[in-house]
Structure 1
């Protein structure tokens, strides 16, 4: 363990910890005893704060490790994350302002709240809530996997066989995270996101300028990557032909074009279905904040593109690791001065804490509003709701911690492949519901159930050269040899059942539930009836 790198890392971690607890007094309201305040930060974040919060929410520690790791490992579709984070913003520019308006008019805290109000169905709302919680849990766990990788490279992992002793630094970090999230709610990750994103930008920009220059330029970097991949393909030609190994390359061959395109499109459609993404959006103070952020957030896509290329830089630098996830931390260890390596480690670990906090808050809000209040305690007061969410956020975080420490990391990573498949099945109820009430609630529920079962089973049945089940996100499209993202195929099944079911149920005149929203609700803004302006410090939560 390098003492200087460790000292810089600890200093920055302590700064973030102080900010996390201080956030309870930042933009302070009279009380945090409501989900509007604790879970949505008072619904008053402006463009500047929201840009850091939503960006810190989407671009997680695991993203900053996994994306370049896929390129380091030679995945021909590994660069899909860059176009998908570009495609997503025109999509959210269109529908998220509508969700913001109806949510603020009716006091909705979660997407499942909207679904219940729109369709008059607690069952469909429960399905959306459970999907959000289940899809978010492995996402939180993967933040821990990203942190573990950094701690391993730093030398902070104990050699003890006892999992608790071995991962004590990780446990301590999450105890601190749990404490300041409990006390400060969404304000904590919002404030910490400033530090996280600033550090990430500094580290990545320095890395893409300093390290390639040190290695002989970008031409040498790309030549090294291509040479490495060509050597692997030549050496393992028989295994690749037999399907026992995957070929490596920089550009997807024609056979992988649909795989690449469907991964980008499906991931873009799924990203803002995740409850933590919607939580960040609902915390903003007006519709224009969302539109401006949809225009400004592509700056993160530029950063992600630079970051992804570090996978090739690691190859050119001669980084040799058994686990590709360690390639970027190891690159920083090898190439940066010790003090700056400490800054880089802190950026990645803090980059895990911010999204993990938001994800746990979003999952806790789903439980509180759409399970606890809907089915267990319908007369819960705002203070009781806030207390329930605080407690459940602790359970969610420590559940993810135990999940990662006690089980195989590969299992957590494989389970995350299902996240996009699962969460995309809520799109018909949420996004389509923002524009039309045509779908029947029971048809939507049937489409959701069938697509969830089919998507999960299909993912389970996918094998790869290194594992028998959950081997990847791609499956053969029906009647062809073309590989397509499983989530999109499941969504197609979902829509077909929802459309057919709606036609049948309407023909049978089955009751369709009561829509508690009105057309005007989807375009209201701050100042309109029922839509409060930003809460100023000291103002009681509404």
Structure 2
């Protein structure tokens, strides 16, 4: 037990809890009318800076702070793929998301599945998109709990009750404050995270004899791993590394929690400004990744790579500052977990229950259902973490990225052209989901880099991120079936979106 670290941790946790409940009164509309748009998107009222903190807090999660360094700690240079994928993601964000924001704002859409429904007029395609989002979010929420569980254990607290208490508090203020709660807490979380990382990458290397010595010791330690790893990429890893970066960037901007944060912005220009400003987090992510090498150089020994960063903080800092750092990581779990649960409840309310039910709900009924579903989602994730082995959540998250890539034809291409036929898109989605899942299953969900065996004249075996060949199959089938369906004049649905919303 580390009582000083625990006291500091509890103090900051209490502060953000109070902030979360206070957020219910922040920017509350004068009308007082409850609606899904107010609870789930905060009335689309956030300006540039709040959106910057919200998206940053949304994308750079507690699991990011734990998992990226853990990847470097366990596997070496391949873990750095998270850095180029963050670089790729923001030009893509600049190109796609402002246009999506305009269409969604014009028509009152709360989710990207709403956009697909309006664009293609196909109920089953809408359900497929929404279901994919919910399935991908559940293990992602669970992983935030994994990050918090590791942090709590590093301070000497074990058992189920600390984690359960933390998420009961999270559930309570998310229920009352909606998206406003994580928006307020994200500001605190990001400031704490910058202080933590800058202190770690300056103070710890000085203590260890400088970065040259850190990299040397890290490389020596990685060479003893099974299989042996290195701080340098091996030639056989180049394609896997690059496709991981590209595929992860495509998936990142399609996750429902990204959509929720983006659609809460007050204008398309706010989204553009954030695409220009968010690379500051990529710089931070590069520094976070180095914590894995610092843990190796500091002699941290653990079979659970996720514990490497918390143990590094406890070993390297005074106990009070270690408590501050661990609080930053734990608060980093609260923000994305809240946004993800809101995103999942929005999808269920609007695009699963809403699409399957013939009854049109009133705004306050939608809001009430979304609040209830957000509670179910969070407690479902809590049960997942408490009663199933941690590797299950990690393995399911590998599938989540593969699944989200299969939404590119419907959403990313759909925001530029409606040429693809909705039934062809549905068939392509099914093929991409099935093939991507099969590749991951063949690897026993231990990795998402699949050795794709092709004829010798096509280069033989190519080890790449499973989402990429699955997406290529998805695109090819969607295009071929579109030509077939349009040639026989099969009903292509009705586009109910306003054409002028795509221009600007």
TM class by shorter-chain length?
A: over 0.9
Unaligned 5+ residue runs, structure 2?
Answer: 455-459
Shift in Å, 1:508: 1.0
Matched-pair contact (CA < 8 Å) for 2:62–2:332: yes
1:509 matched residue in structure 2: 489
> What pairs with 1:346-425 in structure 2 (closer than 5 Å)?
346-376=327-357, 378-425=359-406
2:500 matched residue in structure 1: 520
1:500 matched residue in structure 2: 480
> What pairs with 1:306-345 in structure 2 (closer than 5 Å)?
306-345=287-326
Structure 2 distance, partners of 1:76, 1:98, is 36
> What pairs with 1:254-269 in structure 2 (closer than 5 Å)?
254-269=235-250
> What pairs with 1:126-275 in structure 2 (closer than 5 Å)?
126-157=127-158, 166-230=159-223, 232=224, 245-275=226-256
Structure 2 distance, partners of 1:437, 1:246, is 47
Structure 1 distance, partners of 2:129, 2:359, is 19
Structure 2 distance, partners of 1:378, 1:112, is 19
- SS of residue paired to 2:300: coil
Shift in Å, 1:246: 2.6
- SS of residue paired to 1:482: strand
Deviations 1:113-163 (A, max 9, x none): 000100011110000000000000000000011111111111110xxxxxx
1:447 matched residue in structure 2: 428
Deviations 1:247-268 (A, max 9, x none): 3011111111001000000000
Matched-pair contact (CA < 8 Å) for 2:76–2:222: no
> What pairs with 1:53-68 in structure 2 (closer than 5 Å)?
53-68=54-69
- SS of residue paired to 1:514: coil
Structure 2 distance, partners of 1:271, 1:228, is 32
Shift in Å, 1:76: 3.3
Structure 2 distance, partners of 1:327, 1:367, is 36
1:12 matched residue in structure 2: 12
Q: Which moved more, 1:22-31 or 1:187-196?
A: 22-31
Aligned length, in residue pairs: 498
Matched-pair contact (CA < 8 Å) for 1:372–1:378: no
Structure 1 segments, 4+ long, off by >4 Å, are none
Deviations 1:197-222 (A, max 9, x none): 01100000000001111111111101
RMSD: 1.0
Matched-pair contact (CA < 8 Å) for 2:76–2:232: no
Matched-pair contact (CA < 8 Å) for 1:32–1:38: no
Deviations 1:414-441 (A, max 9, x none): 1110011111111110010000010000
Q: Structure 1 or 2: larger helix share?
A: 2
Matched-pair contact (CA < 8 Å) for 1:273–1:423: yes
Q: Which moved more, 1:40-49 or 1:220-229?
A: 220-229
Unaligned 5+ residue runs, structure 1?
Answer: 158-165, 234-244, 463-468, 525-542
- SS of residue paired to 1:477: strand
Shift in Å, 1:73: 1.0
